[in-house]
Amino acid sequence: MEAYIGIDVGSVTTKFAVVDKDGELISHIYLLTQGKPVQMVQQGLTQIKQQLPKEVDICGVATTGSARYLAGVIVGADLVKNEITSHAVATLRHIPEVQTIVEIGGQDSKIIIIRDGIVTDFGMNTVCAAGTGSFLDHQALRLDMSIEEFANQALDSKTPVRIAGRCTVFAESDMIHKQQMGHHIKDILYGLCQALVRNYLNNVGLGKDIRPPVVFQGGVAFNRAIVKALQEELNTEIIVPPHHELMGAIGAALLAHEEMVSSNNGSKFKGFEASEEKYHISSFECKACPNLCEIAQISINGQVLARWGGRCDLWERSPSN
Protein backbone atom coordinates (compact mmCIF):
# COMPACT_ATOMS: atom_id res chain seq x y z
CA MET A 1 0.00 0.00 0.00
CA GLU A 2 1.28 3.44 -0.88
CA ALA A 3 1.54 5.92 1.97
CA TYR A 4 2.84 9.43 2.49
CA ILE A 5 4.15 10.91 5.73
CA GLY A 6 3.70 14.51 6.83
CA ILE A 7 5.68 15.79 9.79
CA ASP A 8 4.84 19.07 11.49
CA VAL A 9 7.48 20.10 14.02
CA GLY A 10 6.09 23.04 15.91
CA SER A 11 7.48 24.94 18.86
CA VAL A 12 5.44 22.99 21.42
CA THR A 13 4.27 19.83 19.70
CA THR A 14 5.45 17.49 16.96
CA LYS A 15 2.81 15.90 14.77
CA PHE A 16 3.06 12.96 12.38
CA ALA A 17 0.36 12.05 9.91
CA VAL A 18 0.37 9.19 7.41
CA VAL A 19 -2.09 9.24 4.53
CA ASP A 20 -2.74 6.70 1.78
CA LYS A 21 -2.86 7.54 -1.91
CA ASP A 22 -6.47 8.67 -1.61
CA GLY A 23 -5.51 11.14 1.08
CA GLU A 24 -7.18 9.22 3.91
CA LEU A 25 -5.48 9.40 7.28
CA ILE A 26 -4.06 5.99 8.22
CA SER A 27 -2.05 6.79 11.28
CA HIS A 28 -0.99 9.74 13.38
CA ILE A 29 1.08 10.71 16.39
CA TYR A 30 1.01 13.78 18.63
CA LEU A 31 4.10 14.41 20.75
CA LEU A 32 5.37 17.27 22.87
CA THR A 33 8.49 18.75 21.27
CA GLN A 34 9.97 19.65 24.66
CA GLY A 35 12.68 21.68 23.02
CA LYS A 36 14.22 18.54 21.46
CA PRO A 37 13.07 18.50 17.84
CA VAL A 38 15.66 15.99 16.62
CA GLN A 39 14.88 13.37 19.26
CA MET A 40 11.13 13.88 18.84
CA VAL A 41 11.28 13.38 15.09
CA GLN A 42 13.24 10.18 15.66
CA GLN A 43 10.87 9.02 18.41
CA GLY A 44 7.90 9.76 16.18
CA LEU A 45 9.40 7.70 13.35
CA THR A 46 9.83 4.73 15.68
CA GLN A 47 6.27 4.99 16.93
CA ILE A 48 4.79 5.43 13.47
CA LYS A 49 6.64 2.36 12.28
CA GLN A 50 5.07 0.31 15.07
CA GLN A 51 1.58 1.61 14.25
CA LEU A 52 1.71 0.99 10.52
CA PRO A 53 0.83 -2.35 8.97
CA LYS A 54 3.79 -4.23 7.43
CA GLU A 55 2.82 -3.90 3.78
CA VAL A 56 2.91 -0.11 3.82
CA ASP A 57 5.34 1.44 1.39
CA ILE A 58 6.39 5.00 2.16
CA CYS A 59 6.39 6.83 -1.17
CA GLY A 60 6.99 10.40 -0.01
CA VAL A 61 7.72 12.54 3.02
CA ALA A 62 7.19 16.25 3.63
CA THR A 63 7.97 18.40 6.64
CA THR A 64 6.44 21.64 7.88
CA GLY A 65 6.41 23.77 11.03
CA SER A 66 9.10 26.03 12.45
CA ALA A 67 11.66 23.19 12.55
CA ARG A 68 10.83 22.02 9.03
CA TYR A 69 14.34 22.35 7.63
CA LEU A 70 15.87 20.47 10.53
CA ALA A 71 13.26 17.70 10.36
CA GLY A 72 13.61 17.57 6.58
CA VAL A 73 17.32 16.78 6.83
CA ILE A 74 16.77 14.03 9.41
CA VAL A 75 14.12 12.10 7.55
CA GLY A 76 15.20 12.93 4.00
CA ALA A 77 12.13 14.90 3.04
CA ASP A 78 10.96 15.17 -0.55
CA LEU A 79 9.37 18.51 0.22
CA VAL A 80 9.78 21.16 2.89
CA LYS A 81 6.70 23.39 3.05
CA ASN A 82 5.64 26.36 5.13
CA GLU A 83 2.77 25.96 7.58
CA ILE A 84 0.33 28.22 5.76
CA THR A 85 0.21 26.20 2.58
CA SER A 86 0.09 22.93 4.54
CA HIS A 87 -2.81 24.04 6.69
CA ALA A 88 -4.77 25.38 3.76
CA VAL A 89 -4.32 22.19 1.72
CA ALA A 90 -5.45 19.95 4.57
CA THR A 91 -8.49 22.04 5.45
CA LEU A 92 -9.59 22.38 1.84
CA ARG A 93 -9.58 18.63 1.54
CA HIS A 94 -11.87 18.15 4.52
CA ILE A 95 -14.04 21.22 4.20
CA PRO A 96 -13.87 22.35 0.56
CA GLU A 97 -16.25 25.30 1.06
CA VAL A 98 -14.09 26.90 3.78
CA GLN A 99 -13.52 30.66 3.43
CA THR A 100 -11.56 31.43 6.61
CA ILE A 101 -9.08 29.35 8.58
CA VAL A 102 -8.17 30.40 12.09
CA GLU A 103 -5.12 28.58 13.37
CA ILE A 104 -3.72 29.11 16.85
CA GLY A 105 -0.73 27.06 17.87
CA GLY A 106 1.85 27.07 20.62
CA GLN A 107 3.88 30.08 19.57
CA ASP A 108 2.17 31.56 16.58
CA SER A 109 -1.26 32.23 15.24
CA LYS A 110 -2.35 32.62 11.67
CA ILE A 111 -5.36 33.50 9.63
CA ILE A 112 -5.80 32.17 6.11
CA ILE A 113 -8.42 33.61 3.80
CA ILE A 114 -9.65 31.31 1.08
CA ARG A 115 -11.94 32.08 -1.82
CA ASP A 116 -13.02 29.47 -4.36
CA GLY A 117 -10.57 26.97 -3.00
CA ILE A 118 -7.55 29.25 -3.38
CA VAL A 119 -5.60 31.06 -0.66
CA THR A 120 -6.07 34.76 -1.35
CA ASP A 121 -4.65 36.32 1.80
CA PHE A 122 -3.02 35.32 5.03
CA GLY A 123 -1.73 36.89 8.21
CA MET A 124 0.59 35.77 10.96
CA ASN A 125 1.21 37.21 14.38
CA THR A 126 4.25 39.42 14.43
CA VAL A 127 6.82 39.34 17.22
CA CYS A 128 4.19 39.15 19.96
CA ALA A 129 3.04 35.70 21.11
CA ALA A 130 0.12 37.06 23.12
CA GLY A 131 -2.91 34.85 22.77
CA THR A 132 -1.20 31.64 21.77
CA GLY A 133 -1.14 28.27 23.46
CA SER A 134 2.00 28.91 25.48
CA PHE A 135 0.41 31.82 27.31
CA LEU A 136 -2.72 29.83 28.15
CA ASP A 137 -0.52 27.01 29.44
CA HIS A 138 1.42 29.47 31.54
CA GLN A 139 -1.73 30.93 33.08
CA ALA A 140 -3.18 27.49 33.82
CA LEU A 141 0.09 26.57 35.50
CA ARG A 142 0.06 29.75 37.58
CA LEU A 143 -3.46 28.98 38.80
CA ASP A 144 -2.41 25.40 39.46
CA MET A 145 -4.91 23.76 37.16
CA SER A 146 -4.73 21.60 34.05
CA ILE A 147 -5.57 23.20 30.72
CA GLU A 148 -8.71 21.00 30.49
CA GLU A 149 -9.92 22.28 33.85
CA PHE A 150 -9.15 25.82 32.63
CA ALA A 151 -11.55 25.30 29.71
CA ASN A 152 -14.26 23.72 31.84
CA GLN A 153 -14.18 26.45 34.46
CA ALA A 154 -14.21 29.18 31.83
CA LEU A 155 -17.23 27.62 30.13
CA ASP A 156 -19.11 27.87 33.43
CA SER A 157 -18.74 31.62 33.58
CA LYS A 158 -21.89 33.74 33.54
CA THR A 159 -20.44 37.22 34.05
CA PRO A 160 -16.99 37.36 32.48
CA VAL A 161 -14.74 40.23 33.57
CA ARG A 162 -12.87 42.42 31.10
CA ILE A 163 -9.16 41.59 30.82
CA ALA A 164 -6.67 43.66 28.84
CA GLY A 165 -5.51 41.33 26.11
CA ARG A 166 -3.14 43.60 24.15
CA CYS A 167 -0.08 42.20 25.77
CA THR A 168 0.47 39.15 27.94
CA VAL A 169 2.31 41.18 30.55
CA PHE A 170 -0.69 43.49 30.97
CA ALA A 171 -3.12 40.59 30.77
CA GLU A 172 -1.39 38.83 33.59
CA SER A 173 -1.26 41.85 35.88
CA ASP A 174 -4.88 42.59 35.03
CA MET A 175 -5.85 39.04 35.92
CA ILE A 176 -4.06 39.24 39.25
CA HIS A 177 -5.70 42.57 39.98
CA LYS A 178 -9.20 41.18 39.24
CA GLN A 179 -8.38 38.13 41.32
CA GLN A 180 -7.44 40.29 44.31
CA MET A 181 -10.66 42.31 43.87
CA GLY A 182 -12.60 39.12 44.54
CA HIS A 183 -13.85 38.10 41.12
CA HIS A 184 -14.50 34.42 40.47
CA ILE A 185 -11.68 32.54 38.82
CA LYS A 186 -14.07 31.19 36.17
CA ASP A 187 -15.11 34.72 35.18
CA ILE A 188 -11.51 35.82 34.98
CA LEU A 189 -10.64 32.80 32.86
CA TYR A 190 -13.44 33.38 30.40
CA GLY A 191 -12.58 37.07 30.36
CA LEU A 192 -9.08 36.05 29.36
CA CYS A 193 -10.44 33.85 26.56
CA GLN A 194 -12.45 36.79 25.25
CA ALA A 195 -9.42 39.06 25.50
CA LEU A 196 -7.28 36.63 23.55
CA VAL A 197 -9.87 36.30 20.83
CA ARG A 198 -10.18 40.10 20.59
CA ASN A 199 -6.42 40.41 20.44
CA TYR A 200 -6.23 37.77 17.73
CA LEU A 201 -8.88 39.44 15.59
CA ASN A 202 -7.37 42.89 16.07
CA ASN A 203 -3.82 41.85 15.28
CA VAL A 204 -3.68 38.81 13.08
CA GLY A 205 -7.14 39.30 11.63
CA LEU A 206 -6.72 43.04 11.08
CA GLY A 207 -8.12 44.13 7.74
CA LYS A 208 -8.96 40.57 6.74
CA ASP A 209 -12.30 39.76 5.18
CA ILE A 210 -13.51 37.05 7.59
CA ARG A 211 -16.43 35.12 6.10
CA PRO A 212 -18.11 31.89 7.10
CA PRO A 213 -17.56 28.96 7.03
CA VAL A 214 -14.84 29.62 9.61
CA VAL A 215 -12.65 26.67 10.53
CA PHE A 216 -10.67 26.78 13.77
CA GLN A 217 -7.69 24.50 14.11
CA GLY A 218 -4.37 24.05 15.90
CA GLY A 219 -3.75 22.92 19.44
CA VAL A 220 -5.68 25.79 21.04
CA ALA A 221 -8.90 24.61 19.33
CA PHE A 222 -8.94 21.87 22.00
CA ASN A 223 -9.93 24.62 24.40
CA ARG A 224 -13.70 24.83 24.07
CA ALA A 225 -13.81 28.11 25.97
CA ILE A 226 -11.74 29.80 23.26
CA VAL A 227 -13.99 28.27 20.60
CA LYS A 228 -17.03 29.69 22.39
CA ALA A 229 -15.44 33.14 22.72
CA LEU A 230 -14.50 33.14 19.03
CA GLN A 231 -18.02 32.09 18.10
CA GLU A 232 -19.51 34.93 20.14
CA GLU A 233 -17.11 37.52 18.77
CA LEU A 234 -17.57 36.56 15.11
CA ASN A 235 -21.22 35.77 15.55
CA THR A 236 -21.02 32.76 13.30
CA GLU A 237 -20.66 29.03 13.69
CA ILE A 238 -17.09 27.84 14.21
CA ILE A 239 -16.14 24.49 12.73
CA VAL A 240 -13.48 22.56 14.61
CA PRO A 241 -12.56 19.68 12.33
CA PRO A 242 -11.62 16.26 13.70
CA HIS A 243 -7.82 16.02 13.90
CA HIS A 244 -7.68 19.82 13.93
CA GLU A 245 -4.36 19.60 15.78
CA LEU A 246 -2.86 17.50 12.97
CA MET A 247 -3.88 19.70 10.05
CA GLY A 248 -0.34 20.92 9.34
CA ALA A 249 1.00 17.36 9.25
CA ILE A 250 -1.91 16.10 7.13
CA GLY A 251 -1.42 18.98 4.71
CA ALA A 252 2.28 18.17 4.45
CA ALA A 253 1.46 14.53 3.72
CA LEU A 254 -1.02 15.54 1.02
CA LEU A 255 1.56 17.89 -0.50
CA ALA A 256 4.14 15.08 -0.42
CA HIS A 257 1.71 12.98 -2.44
CA GLU A 258 1.12 15.80 -4.92
CA GLU A 259 4.87 16.40 -5.25
CA MET A 260 5.69 12.74 -5.86
CA VAL A 261 2.96 12.36 -8.45
CA SER A 262 4.19 15.37 -10.41
CA SER A 263 7.93 14.79 -10.09
CA ASN A 264 8.14 11.08 -11.04
CA ASN A 265 11.27 10.66 -8.95
CA GLY A 266 11.79 8.15 -6.19
CA SER A 267 11.36 9.30 -2.62
CA LYS A 268 14.38 10.63 -0.75
CA PHE A 269 13.00 9.13 2.46
CA LYS A 270 15.81 7.63 4.48
CA GLY A 271 13.63 4.91 5.92
CA PHE A 272 12.64 4.31 9.49
CA GLU A 273 16.28 3.54 10.25
CA ALA A 274 16.79 7.31 10.45
CA SER A 275 15.36 7.02 13.94
CA GLU A 276 18.40 5.05 15.08
CA GLU A 277 21.08 7.27 13.60
CA LYS A 278 23.07 9.45 15.93
CA TYR A 279 22.70 13.02 14.78
CA HIS A 280 25.01 15.61 16.15
CA ILE A 281 23.92 19.22 16.26
CA SER A 282 26.36 21.99 16.92
CA SER A 283 26.64 25.66 16.26
CA PHE A 284 29.38 28.17 15.82
CA GLU A 285 29.82 31.84 15.13
CA CYS A 286 30.93 32.65 11.60
CA LYS A 287 33.79 35.13 11.61
CA ALA A 288 33.89 35.87 7.90
CA CYS A 289 32.29 39.31 8.29
CA PRO A 290 31.19 41.60 11.13
CA ASN A 291 27.67 40.13 11.15
CA LEU A 292 28.87 37.19 13.26
CA CYS A 293 26.03 34.92 12.18
CA GLU A 294 25.29 31.91 14.33
CA ILE A 295 25.56 28.91 12.07
CA ALA A 296 23.89 25.68 13.15
CA GLN A 297 25.02 22.42 11.64
CA ILE A 298 23.73 18.90 11.78
CA SER A 299 26.10 16.04 11.18
CA ILE A 300 26.17 12.28 11.22
CA ASN A 301 29.35 10.30 11.94
CA GLY A 302 31.39 13.45 11.57
CA GLN A 303 29.95 14.20 8.14
CA VAL A 304 28.05 17.47 7.90
CA LEU A 305 24.59 17.08 6.38
CA ALA A 306 23.44 20.66 6.39
CA ARG A 307 24.16 24.07 7.79
CA TRP A 308 21.94 27.08 8.12
CA GLY A 309 21.45 30.32 10.01
CA GLY A 310 23.75 32.52 7.93
CA ARG A 311 22.79 35.81 6.38
CA CYS A 312 24.65 34.87 3.24
CA ASP A 313 25.17 31.65 1.31
CA LEU A 314 28.70 31.06 2.58
CA TRP A 315 27.88 28.01 4.69
CA GLU A 316 24.65 26.82 3.15
CA ARG A 317 26.26 26.51 -0.23
CA SER A 318 28.95 24.06 0.82
CA PRO A 319 27.64 21.44 3.21
CA SER A 320 30.38 19.04 2.15
CA ASN A 321 33.32 20.92 3.56
47 forms part of the interface with other proteins (CB under 8 A): no
CB 104 within 8 A of CB 203: no
159 forms part of the interface with other proteins (CB under 8 A): no
Q: Which of 5, 37, 103, 122 binds other proteins (CB under 8 A)?
A: 122
Bridge partners, 37 (sequence order): none
Bridge partners, 297 (sequence order): 282, 307
Cα–Cα distance, 219 to 90 (Å, whole number): 15
Side by side, the strands of the sheet bearing 303-308 are: 279-285, 294-300, 303-308
Cα–Cα distance, 155 to 190 (Å, whole number): 7
Q: Which of 39, 43, 47, 85 binds other proteins (CB under 8 A)?
A: 85
- Residue 56: C-alpha distances to residues 53, 62, 194, 255 (Å): 6, 17, 45, 19
Pick from 20, 29, 91, 25: nearest CA to 60: 20
Q: Which of 55, 118, 144, 301 binds other proteins (CB under 8 A)?
A: 118
Q: Which of 78, 83, 103, 259 binds other proteins (CB under 8 A)?
A: 83
Stretch that binds other proteins, among 40-48, 70-78, 113-121, 225-233 (CB under 8 A): 113-121
Q: For other proteins, what does the binding mask look like between residues 272 and 311, x meaning CB under 8 A? A: -----------------xxxx------------------x
Of 50-79, binders to other proteins (CB under 8 A) are 66
* Count of residues that interact with other proteins, criterion CB under 8 A: 23
181 forms part of the interface with other proteins (CB under 8 A): no
Q: Residue 126 Cβ, how far from other proteins at the closest point, in Å?
A: 7
Residue type, position 183, single letter? H
Instruction: List contacts with other proteins (CB under 8 A).
Output: 66, 81-85, 117-122, 124, 126-127, 207, 209, 289-292, 311-312
